[in-house]
Amino acid sequence: MSPEILTVAMFATLIVSIFLGHPLAYTLAAIATLFGLIDNGFDFHALFDMFANNVWGLMGNYILVAIPLFILMAQLLDRSKVSDSLFEALYVILGSVKGGLGLAVVVVCTVFAATTGIIGASVVAMGLLATPALLRKGYQKELTSGIICAAGTLGILIPPSIMMVIYGGLTGLKETSVGNLFAGAIFPGLVLSTLYFGYILVRCKINPDLGPPISKQEASQYTLATKLGMTLKSLLPPLGLILAVMGTILAGVATATEAAGLGAVGALVLAFFNKKLNWTVLKESAWATMKTTSMVMMLFIGGKLFSSVFLSSGGGDVVADLLIGSGMNRWIVLIIMMLIIFIMGMFVDWLAILLVTVPVFMPIAIELEFNPLWFAIMMCVNLQTSFLTPPFGYALFYFKGVAPPEYTMGHIYRGIIPFVLLQLVAIGIITLFPELVTWLPELFFGRY
């Protein structure tokens, strides 16, 4: 079978299998086995040797140790209710502004994103905590769902991010080391947060009925000193944890894996001081970490087997020849790659997209002389849309699971449309100003 036919057949089979609802990790491994045997003439021993070498190399990747540590940190923080006190403080400070409670959600999610990196935890926590408060104050349902779903997804981009750890482990390039990715993602994450903040502020200024402020009587109950005290008390602990994790990486004191261990210890300390550290919390956090890590690693193995067969059969060359050999302008090729990722994000899990596309698209980006770090961050910002785009955006279903009964999927779908457009605007900004990605890594780690 020619590489062209094999390439089309592999992806067609993958798409059909996904729509049939088969588990993705096993689907990737099964397709890799089937087409690997077809490609090598049903030489089972050769295929097994290739799979064993790839899995062994994957399991020996030291950077992947950071995954369970960051997940454990997120689970402990979720159960220690760090975000609750911060939202309460910002509720008081920003509540008197039109759209102020929505702005408070964005700020809390931005801080929470810099300490967890787990989307489900952020969306569910904010859904349970903020939705009743926003609806009680008269916020529009669509705006409420859009704010919580979009701001909750910041955790996949703002470091420490599991996506960045996995991306760094996939490429093995110095340019896309986890440290460089973490540093490069800070400004793009803040750009997104700022866009959300500005959109809510402007839209509620134009139409205050969408996000009315709290009453002056309620706002006057707190003195300035009380507000400052509440803010500092709730903000300093997570900022200390952020400094411990990101500060040690950017200062070159610790690797991402070592910083993840430090973050897990810091989360334990925060849980202790919040009086939430007990046997139940430890047991539930450890169990959730084990399940999530197992899921991630099974997907990692399935994706590695799929990409190894795809590349060894010449699929990567087929895609590269199609895009590079077509003679199209390199920016058109970039748009095509970004569009493929965006469309895949509507139907496929972000991790599977990374595992399938990075081995194919990164060599093309390097061949076209795009900065590998900049291209990696562009992919990651693009992949953030996958949590919001129907029909399979995870954040939408996380929110629906905790939203009041009167919420329909129609409310949620309409609510996220402006925020998906803002994410596309962010991609445009990063394209026009690549220094937003490259400046911090060069400042901390020098030119790579």
Q: Tens digit of pLDDT for each residue in 106-164?
A: 988 888 787 766 666 678 777 877 888 888 888 898 999 999 999 988 888 888 888 88
Residue 395 pLDDT: 84
Check whether 57 has a pLDDT greater than 90. Answer: no
Residue 190 pLDDT: 93
pLDDT, greater one: 216 or 96: 96
With cut-offs at 50, 70 and 90, classify the pLDDT of residue 218. Answer: low
What's the longest Cα–Cα distance across the chain? 78
- For residue 6 the two structure tokens come to 């094999």
d(CA 388, CA 394) in angstroms, rounded, equals 7
With cut-offs at 50, 70 and 90, classify the pLDDT of residue 272. Answer: confident
With cut-offs at 50, 70 and 90, classify the pLDDT of residue 274. Answer: confident
With cut-offs at 50, 70 and 90, classify the pLDDT of residue 389. Answer: confident
**Residue range 10-15: mean pLDDT, rounded:** 83
149 near 396, Cβ under 8 Å? Answer: yes
**Residue range 404-422: mean pLDDT, rounded:** 88
* Eight-state DSSP code of residue 175: T
Other beta carbons within 10 Å of 447: 7
Residue 219 pLDDT: 61
Backbone angles phi, psi at 186, to 5 degrees: -65, -55
Sign for the CA dihedral angle at 49, 55, 58, 60 comes to: negative
pLDDT, greater one: 336 or 344: 336
CA angle 103, 106, 109 (to 5 degrees): 150
Q: Which long-range contacts (CB under 8 A, 24 or more apart) does 34-43 make?
A: 35/6, 35/9, 35/10, 35/309, 35/313, 36/305, 36/309, 36/312, 36/313, 38/1, 38/6, 39/1, 39/6, 39/309, 39/312, 39/313
> Of 25-39, 150-164, 245-259, which range is least confident?
245-259
> Of 178-192, 213-227, 389-403, 404-418, which range is least confident?
213-227
> Of 3-7, 202-206, 366-370, 373-377, which range is least confident?
3-7
Residue 313 pLDDT: 82
Q: Residue 213 region, left (φ>0) first, then alpha (ψ -120 to 50), else beta?
A: beta
Check whether 222 has a pLDDT greater than 70. Answer: no
Which residue type, as a one-letter code, is found at position 230? M
428 near 385, Cβ under 8 Å? Answer: no
* Eight-state DSSP code of residue 234: H
For 283-307, the pLDDT digits (tens) are 988 998 888 888 778 877 888 888 8
**Residue range 45-74: mean pLDDT, rounded:** 82
For 197-213, the pLDDT digits (tens) are 999 999 999 998 888 88
d(CA 348, CA 386) in angstroms, rounded, equals 8
- Closest by CA to 121, choosing from 145, 160, 153, 146, is 153
With cut-offs at 50, 70 and 90, classify the pLDDT of residue 43. Answer: confident
Check whether 447 has a pLDDT greater than 70. Answer: no
> Of 119-133, 160-174, 185-199, 343-357, which range is least confident?
119-133
**Residue range 369-379: mean pLDDT, rounded:** 94
With cut-offs at 50, 70 and 90, classify the pLDDT of residue 187. Answer: very high
Q: For the chain, give the mean pLDDT.
A: 84
Check whether 233 has a pLDDT greater than 70. Answer: yes
Report pTM: 0.82
pLDDT, greater one: 311 or 189: 189
Check whether 338 has a pLDDT greater than 90. Answer: yes
Residue 120 pLDDT: 65
